[in-house]
Amino acid sequence: ILRTLNSWFWWENIWMPINCTWADFVDRDGLVFPKPHQLYATIPYAFVLLIIRFFSERYVAIPLAKALGIKNVRRVKPQPNPVLESYFRECSRHPSQSEIQGLAKKCNCTVHLVEKWFRRRRNLEIPTVLRKFQEAFWRFSFYLTSSIVGFIFLYDKPWFYDIWQTWVGYPFQTLLPSQYWYYMAEIGFYWSLLFTLGIDNKRKARLCLLGFTSFSFPSPRQDFMAHVVHHLAAIGLMSGSWCGNYVRLGTLVIFVHDTADFWLEAAKMFNYAHWEKTCNMLFIIFSIAFFITRIILFPFWILRATLYQPTYYSTTPVIAYFLFNGMLLILQGLHLYWGYLIFKILKRFVFLK
């Protein structure tokens, strides 16, 4: 069964133009092609990034947070109680008064002590401002580095200025060392985010933009699963473009997304430090960068190259054409939704102060 599924997955008609086979993707005459087995390396790269994250959060983010006036608040842990801990995890974090009375009888203690225990236990689930600052600092550091390195890798490439060049000579386009490392770092980063979902800060079952606007999920579990789906979709999209040698377009998509994200993470960092004016200024810069990259460049530059230009070079689109464009169109739908939320925040900021 696995052999059959594998043959279906790597069917040439899915990935490459007509009259091309995988045998044509053998390195020769100075041409180097991306190989699917190279994606296995993204897993150890993810652990390298986790090590870098640990040291950067501990030895750079914490001193920076202290310099900005963020203090590490130590919360009081409740007394160990297996009965209350089991109820907290499996039943409810906010028991009703009758449930509290029942738990007090079961534990042979007062109602006041049970209420106090649940209050302290809930507080342990709330991430400290310092912890949120550390995570924002790590994402800021990665996105900023990725944007700078991406620009260095792309600024002298002809397809950075002329999007038609992404298809010239396709699929026989050689893989550059810079493209290899750009992809490995990005995919490894999303693997690392996936590995740390269980220990990273819970966003109180909602996705927020600086705390001003939120989209609620019915439960923390669904919020967790939403993050899992997002990270897996990002990894799948980048991995698929790697296998099909859509690397030129893939690097442009990565660059367009990362160049706005570090401004938002910087705004969050100053928001945690209560530097209100700096936070507002950074959020306005983020909003401008977001609208330029996600609402203008992505649909009129990237999607134009993926939807229209392939039909110019080939009259028989492969299955990957519909798969990848479908995912990119869904991504653009998310861009429009997030842009709507950002616009509402800016409108409130300008007119309601």
Q: State how far the Cα of 156 lies from the Cα of 151, in Å rounded to an integer.
A: 9
Q: State how far the Cα of 232 lies from the Cα of 224, in Å rounded to an integer.
A: 12
Q: State how far the Cα of 253 lies from the Cα of 257, in Å rounded to an integer.
A: 6
pLDDT digits (tens, 9 = 90+) for 33-72: 999 899 999 999 999 999 999 999 999 999 999 999 888 7
> Helix, strand, or coil here: 207?
strand
- Largest Cα–Cα distance of the chain, in whole Å? 81
Containing 113, the helix (H) or strand (E) segment is helix 111-125
pLDDT digits (tens, 9 = 90+) for 290-319: 999 999 999 999 999 998 888 777 666 788
pLDDT score of 160: 93
CATH of domain 82-125: 1.10.10.60
CB 234 within 8 A of CB 261: no
CB atoms within 10 A of CB 118: 20
CB 106 within 8 A of CB 83: yes
The band of 180, judged by pLDDT with boundaries at 50, 70 and 90, is very high
Residue ranges per structural domain of the chain: 11-71+128-352, 82-125
State the pTM of this model: 0.83
